[in-house]
Structure 1
Amino acid sequence: MKKKILITGGQGFVGRALVDRFADLGHQVTCADMNDRPFRADVNFIRLDIRDKAGVMAALAGADSVIHNASLVHTKHNRVEDVWAVNLAGTENILEACAAHHIPRLVYISSASAVYEGADIENGDETLPYSTISQAPYADSKIAAEKKVLAFSGTGGCETCAIRPHVIFGAGDNRFIPAILDKAKRGKLNRAVGNRDKLSDFTYISNLVDAVVAAEEKLGAGSPLSGQAYFITNGEPIAFFDFIEKLILELKYPPIRGKVPYWLAYGVAAIAEAIDTLKGGTLNAENGLTRFSVRYMVTHHYFNIAKARRDLGWEPKVSLTEGIRLTVKDLLKAQPDLMAGR
């Protein structure tokens, strides 16, 4: 069945992949974002700030499904009001419009950080409680928004679910992979933080998109998905810096040899955040150096994806190794000078 599907945040890394997939499947897709620059002819592109309640109400009229992907990813402890205005208040506007227009389905792109409290998570599943400790404005606001989304399920005939990916990577990434490669090119990626003995999950972009498509298709009245959250990862936990090393070795950069103690990296991140705050706080320019991200590097955080496999009928089709290979291949196609020595 072909549907009218609106995707918020459709111009970003994840959003664009979602727009492309749903359009390829033949759906009538609307890409709603602060930027309305078209990137394919068969999609409707609109400019939308989800903080604008009236704009959201108008944009969602007539939709059969909403994929709510728009959020402000900011893990520093500044610009807090901006983060909450987008991630929570913007989500509340989306929910209000879904109720007003009796939109049947809403799939919310959440985050695995919803359950992270700074301690190890090993094979964690969806029975884990929400974090009760403030980690960063991003995590705090995503928790609040996910709670609202899941509690909303059934309101006005709208069924909802939340997808919780963890460390998404792949072609088109404009945040995580570029930060890694920038450090590699400048010769500043020769040391790991900590002992590389803590495992992390990663999620290749097409595996995430597969899960969202499955959720949108299966979500509805009486569906086991209604009001539920799902961890989505590759299901191949690996030490954070082992993943980084695999990526840079594909590009012929040298392996990571040394290490930096956690306390030192955390202290440097704290100082960097303080300086950034004094300057007013910069959005979307973290470069991996925040207390939140440093803490992530030295704790186990990998998740059980059995619930998604069962309810969504989903499997991560692209392995971690293949995902890294595909990412590098696509990057080199666009930027041949990324290869070491070029």
Structure 2
Amino acid sequence: MKKNILITGGQGFVGRALVDRFADLGHAVTCADINDKPFRGDVRFVKLDIRDKAAVHAALAGIDSVIHNASLVHTKHNRVEDVWAVNLTGTENILAACTAHRIPRLVYISSASAVYEGKDIENGDETLPYSSISQAPYADSKIAAEKRVLAFSGTGPTLACAIRPHVIFGAGDNRFVPAILDKVKAGKLKRAVGNRDKLSDFTYISNLVDAVVAAEDRLVPGSPAGGQAYFITNGEPMAFFDFIEKLILELGYPPIRGKVPYWLAYGVAAAAEALDTLKGGTLNAENGLTRFSVRYMVTHHYYNIAKAKRDLGWTPKVSLAEGIRLTVDELVRRQPALRIGTRAA
């Protein structure tokens, strides 16, 4: 059935993949973002700042389903008001508009960091409590927003659920993989942080999109999905720097040798954050050097995806190895000079 589907944050990496998929499925898609530059002819593009309640109300008129993907990813301990204004207030504006327009379905793109407290999580499932300590404005605000969304589900006309991906990568990535490549090209990625014995989950972009499509389809009366959160990953935990190494080996760069002790990396990250704060705080320019990200590198954080498989009828179709290959192939297609030498086996 063709539906009118609005996707917030539709110009970013994840948002654009969602726009493309829902449009390819034949739905009438509205891409709502602070950037309204069109990238395909069969999609409606709307300039939208989700902090503007009146603008959100107007944008959601006539919509059947909302995929709320817009957020400010910022794990430094600065620009706190900006992060909360987008991630929580923006979400509250979406919820108010869903009620006003009696929108049946809302899928919220949350984060696995909602349950992370800086300690090991091994095969964690959705029974884990929310983090009880402050990790970063991003994580704190995403927790608050997810709580609002799940409590909101079913109290009026809207059924809602939350999708919790972890370390998303793939073709079109404009943040995670490019930051890695910037470091390796500059010769700044020769050592791992810690012992490379802690496992992390990763999520290939099309696997995440599959899960969102499945969730939107199943948000109907009587479905178990309403009011629920779901971890979405590839289900193939791997040490963080093993993943990075596989990626750069595909491009012909040498393997990562040696290590930097956690205490040193954490201290450097803390100093970098302090300097950034003195400058007023920069958004979307972290490059992995924050205390939050350094803690991630030296702890287990991988999740059980059985609930999503059961409730959503979803399973990850693209393996981690295939996802890395597809990501590299797309990068090299756009920038052939990225690959040096012969592709590593």
Q: TM-score, normalised by structure 2?
A: 0.98
Give the aligned partner of residue 326 of structure 1.
326
Once the two structures are TM-superposed, the CA of residue 168 in structure 1 deviates from its matched residue by 0.1
Once the two structures are TM-superposed, the CA of residue 156 in structure 1 deviates from its matched residue by 2.3
Give the aligned partner of residue 58 of structure 2.
58
Give the aligned partner of residue 239 of structure 1.
239
Give the aligned partner of residue 39 of structure 1.
39
SS of match in other structure, 1:66: strand
**Equivalents in 1 of 2:214, 2:341: separation in Å?**
42
Aligned length: 342
**Equivalents in 2 of 1:164, 1:340: separation in Å?**
35
Give the aligned partner of residue 301 of structure 2.
301
Q: Which amino acid aligns with 1:103?
A: I
Kept in 2: contact 1:99–1:155 (CA 8 A): no
**Equivalents in 2 of 1:95, 1:336: separation in Å?**
44
**Equivalents in 1 of 2:230, 2:50: separation in Å?**
24
**Is 1:269 aligned to residue 259 of structure 2?**
no
Q: Which amino acid aligns with 1:305?
A: I
**Equivalents in 2 of 1:15, 1:117: separation in Å?**
27
Kept in 2: contact 1:185–1:340 (CA 8 A): no
SS of match in other structure, 2:38: coil
- CA-atom RMSD in angstroms: 0.8
Q: How does 1:63-78 map to 2 (within 5 A)?
A: 63-78=63-78
Give the aligned partner of residue 142 of structure 2.
142
Q: How does 1:132-211 map to 2 (within 5 A)?
A: 132-211=132-211
SS of match in other structure, 1:296: helix
Once the two structures are TM-superposed, the CA of residue 155 in structure 1 deviates from its matched residue by 2.7
Once the two structures are TM-superposed, the CA of residue 341 in structure 1 deviates from its matched residue by 5.9
**Equivalents in 1 of 2:10, 2:156: separation in Å?**
25
**Is 1:88 aligned to residue 102 of structure 2?**
no
**Equivalents in 2 of 1:264, 1:340: separation in Å?**
31
**Equivalents in 2 of 1:326, 1:280: separation in Å?**
38
**Equivalents in 1 of 2:194, 2:314: separation in Å?**
34
Once the two structures are TM-superposed, the CA of residue 340 in structure 1 deviates from its matched residue by 2.6
Q: Which consecutive unaligned segments of at least 5 residues does structure 2 have? A: none
**Equivalents in 1 of 2:162, 2:7: separation in Å?**
14
Q: Which amino acid aligns with 2:295?
A: R
Give the aligned partner of residue 222 of structure 1.
222
Give the aligned partner of residue 9 of structure 1.
9
Once the two structures are TM-superposed, the CA of residue 73 in structure 1 deviates from its matched residue by 0.1
Give the aligned partner of residue 292 of structure 2.
292
Q: Which consecutive unaligned segments of at least 5 residues does structure 1 have? A: none
Give the aligned partner of residue 126 of structure 1.
126
**Equivalents in 2 of 1:37, 1:195: separation in Å?**
44
Q: TM-score, normalised by structure 1?
A: 0.99
**Equivalents in 2 of 1:339, 1:326: separation in Å?**
14
Once the two structures are TM-superposed, the CA of residue 339 in structure 1 deviates from its matched residue by 1.3
Give the aligned partner of residue 18 of structure 1.
18
